[in-house]
Amino acid sequence: MKTHDLRKKLHTIWGHRATFVLSVLFVLISSLSATTWADALYILTGVEDDAIVLEGGADVPDLSSQLIYVSSGSKGYDVSLPAGQTVTVHYDGATVSVQSKRENISKLLNRLHIVPSPLEMVAVDLSDSGVELTVSSDITYYDKVMETVSFETVRVANPNMEKGTEKVVQEGADGVRTSIYEVVWSNGEQVSRQFVEEVDSTAVDQIVEYGTAVEPVAVDDTDRVVNVVKNADGSGTLVFQSGTTLEFSGARSMTATAYTAGHGGADYTTATGTFVHVGTVAVDKSVIPLGTRMYIVTDDGVVYGLATAEDTGVRGNKVDLYYDTYQQCINFGRRSCTVYILK
């Protein structure tokens, strides 16, 4: 690709810093004179890694006098240097340090008898410690740009929703992100541009909850547990007479006591704000977190069945099981049980 073809492809991307108003800059420089200066692609880099692409024209941005318009009928911009600025130049395997003489980079390189060919580029690293020039046919740098981005969809399991169902709980929205790209130029052409990382984004994720709750299992004597399959990690599966199964993450041996509202100080509402009902279990939330789904069977074969940790008021390795009547509580009393923590 010829350098005059490159000029047609350049476009403007803005970014600036407070003290230098310049971070990364592509500038296509035309010759100051036909005999002393060849066309060259300038790539200027600074601490912010933003990209500013400039074309020749009337709309020249204010870059704190660091850029000067190239005259003599040519198009483009060059960088002016103050007198006494330390400049380190890397070229053709050699490195030299010089002091600038209130000149632009074109004249400084000319003074050093360095004339970039049409396929060579000048990488200019501007920093507080000085200016570093690299003249080469291969340049790699990092470009920070703002670009539009589509929202992503995040799926979240909800154990309180029926398995196979889902709902959108937060609508997604496209936005703008700041992205870092690695850009490689070789012989006057851009040969690759690869995404490296996302710095920030205004896009809003769409959040979709999907249900994981299993089908209810009957708790009467017609559908009892006929087998318990245990895994090495303590998890397993409850197999019922009907063929229905429930997966559990762990099993606890605990002491269960029956209770009902209006007796022993028990209220009609739970610590989680629900009304008490058969299946309500009071727990020590440091042992079993509120909201945990369980299946409970006593050691002597009484099936309490599916239950949820909705209330508090016990301590340690104990559970209180709600029954509708005081007589049912008397009949149950206190028993040892196995609490299967359902997935």
CATH number of the domain within which 168 lies: 2.20.230.10
313 shares a domain with 229: yes
106, 190: one domain: no
Segment 185-222, tens digit of pLDDT: 787 677 888 988 888 899 999 999 888 765 554 445 45
Q: Which residue, of 136, 153, 177, is where some domain finishes?
A: 136
Give yes or no: residues 234 and 208 share one domain: no
CB 1 within 8 A of CB 188: yes
Best-predicted range by mean pLDDT (25-34, 130-139, 330-339): 330-339
136, HSE (Cβ side, Cα atoms, 13 Å): 18
Q: pLDDT-derived band of residue 152, with 50, 70 and 90 as boundaries?
A: very high
| Residue linked to tokens 């050691």 | 299
Q: What does the pLDDT read at residue 128?
A: 61
The answer to whether 326 and 264 are in contact (CB under 8 A) is no
Q: Please tell me whether residues 128 and 8 are part of one structural domain.
A: yes
- Structure confidence at residue 95 (pLDDT): 93
- Same domain as 238, residue 130: no
DSSP conformation class of 253: E
Q: Distance between CA 336 and CA 338 in Å, rounded?
A: 7
Same domain, 117 and 198: no
| Boundary of a domain, candidates 100, 118, 136 | 136
Same domain, 29 and 53: yes
Token pair of 202 as six digits: 């205004």
12 vs 326: which has the higher pLDDT: 326
Residues 296 and 282 in one domain: yes
Beta partners for residue 109, in sequence order:
none
| Rounded average pLDDT over 224-232 | 89
- Measure the CA–CA gap between 273 and 215, rounded to whole angstroms: 24
249 and 262 together in one domain:
yes
Q: In terms of domains, do 248 and 293 share one?
A: yes
Range among 10-14, 21-25, 285-289 rated most confident: 285-289
Q: Are 35 and 77 in contact (CB under 8 A)?
A: no
Q: Which of 154, 178, 212 lies at the terminal end of a domain, its last residue?
A: 212
Range of the domain at 273: 217-342
Higher per-residue confidence, 166 vs 31: 166
Q: Which of 57-66, 72-81, 300-309 has the highest mean pLDDT?
A: 300-309
Query: Quick one: 105 and 24 in the same domain?
Result: yes
The stretch 82-87 carries a mean pLDDT of 87
Which residue from 280, 323, 303, 294 is spatially nearest to 220, judged by alpha carbons? Answer: 303
pLDDT at 42: 53
The verdict on 170 and 195 lying in the same domain is yes
130 band by pLDDT with thresholds 50, 70 and 90:
confident
* pLDDT of 71 strictly over 80: no
Domain count for the chain, please give it.
3
Residue range 289-343, pLDDT digits in tens: 999 999 999 999 888 989 999 999 899 999 999 999 999 999 999 999 999 999 8
- Can you give the CATH number for the domain in which 284 is found? 2.40.40.10
Q: Give the tens place of pLDDT for each residue, 244-301.
A: 888 999 999 999 999 998 887 788 889 888 889 999 999 999 999 999 999 999 999 8
Do residues 27 and 42 make contact, with C-beta atoms less than 8 angstroms apart? yes
pLDDT at 127: 64
